[in-house]
Amino acid sequence: MELWIYTIGSVVLVSALSFIGILSLLFDRERLNKMLLFLVSFAIGGLFGDAFIHLLPESFEKLGTKLTTSLLIVFGILLFFILEKFIRWRHCHTPTSEDHPHPLVTMNLIGDGVHNFIDGLLIGASYIVSIPIGITTTIAIILHEIPQEIGDFGVLVHGGLSIKKALFFNFMSASFAVLGAVISLVIGSHIEGYTAALLPITAGCFLYIAGSDLIPELHHEVRASRSLWQLISIIMGVGIMALLALVE
């Protein structure tokens, strides 16, 4: 029962982050972009920290230092490469009306739904391994989701949806994480090696998101002072994960 409470509570929290996009209406675009860069930097540190400090050591402990473990890490990287190819709606920037929303709205919701479903699978599998691993994985996902959900909300409004509809559909897309977590908990106890296999896959996913998707965003800012704050934010993200490992 404790496992279910932790898991469902975590994915509900992650899903609720879909409403954070409304905060983007409180700031002008320039200030919002500055905030997002530091949030992205902090998320990078959290994702790298969880992968290298928690998930990879646990993976090699459970599966051993063998070819299978390494291939599962690579599979996790390729999985999110394929997913990102699928949701490359970001390149489309043509606003339309609410009565005829742009196709990017549909692509955004589908892609984000698949992404959140996978997040739910990963969170569920992590909690099956142990409560501390589940908590650190949830934190890493939350750090990544905050800037992403703000961006998703902007895309939906830009694509023609009203604020209320954008919030509603973004939440429905985010709620697929709950479905993923339930499936993970149900099948995890019946499929031998399920959780052990998902650990390196999760690590690979986090490494791809941080290294390929988020770090390039930081390179758009080249001023020394802000670059320094980005580095500090990354270190802080790693530090949070290291602190959690010490608390464990």
Total structural domains within the chain: 1
Q: Residue 185 pLDDT more than 70?
A: yes
Q: What is the mean pLDDT of the chain?
A: 82
Name the band, by pLDDT with cuts 50, 70 and 90, for residue 48. very high
pLDDT at 114 (0 to 100): 76
pLDDT at 248 (0 to 100): 62
pLDDT at 108 (0 to 100): 66
Q: Residue 63 pLDDT more than 70?
A: yes
For residues 204-228, give the mean pLDDT: 86
Residue 145 to residue 143: CA distance in whole angstroms: 6
Residue 43 lies in a domain: yes
pLDDT at 158 (0 to 100): 64
Lowest mean pLDDT among 81-90, 116-125, 221-230, 239-248: 81-90
Sign for the pseudo-dihedral over CA of 26, 221, 167, 45: negative
Instruction: Compute the 3-state secondary structure of the chain and give helix, strand, coil in percent, each to the nearest 5.
Output: 85, 0, 15
pLDDT at 29 (0 to 100): 66
Residue 74 lies in a domain: yes
For residues 175-181, give the mean pLDDT: 92
Q: Give exposure, 189-216, as e/b (b: 16+ Cβ within 10 Å).
A: eeeeebbbbbbbbbbbbbbbbbeebbbe
For residues 202-206, give the mean pLDDT: 88
Residue 146 lies in a domain: yes
Residue 24 lies in a domain: no
19-47 per-position pLDDT tens digit: 887 776 777 667 776 777 788 888 889 88
**Quick check: 58 and 129 in contact, CB under 8 A?**
yes
Specify the higher pLDDT residue, 106 or 193.
193
88-100 per-position pLDDT tens digit: 654 444 444 444 4
Residue 201 lies in a domain: yes
Residue 179 to residue 217: CA distance in whole angstroms: 30
What's the token pair of residue 150? 């703000």
pLDDT at 98 (0 to 100): 47
**Quick check: 202 and 127 in contact, CB under 8 A?**
no
Residue 26 lies in a domain: no
Q: Residue 166 pLDDT more than 80?
A: yes
Q: Residue 75 pLDDT more than 90?
A: yes
Q: Residue 102 pLDDT more than 70?
A: no
pLDDT at 101 (0 to 100): 53
Question: Which domain, by its residues, includes 176?
Answer: 2-19+37-247
Residue 13 lies in a domain: yes
Residue 29 lies in a domain: no
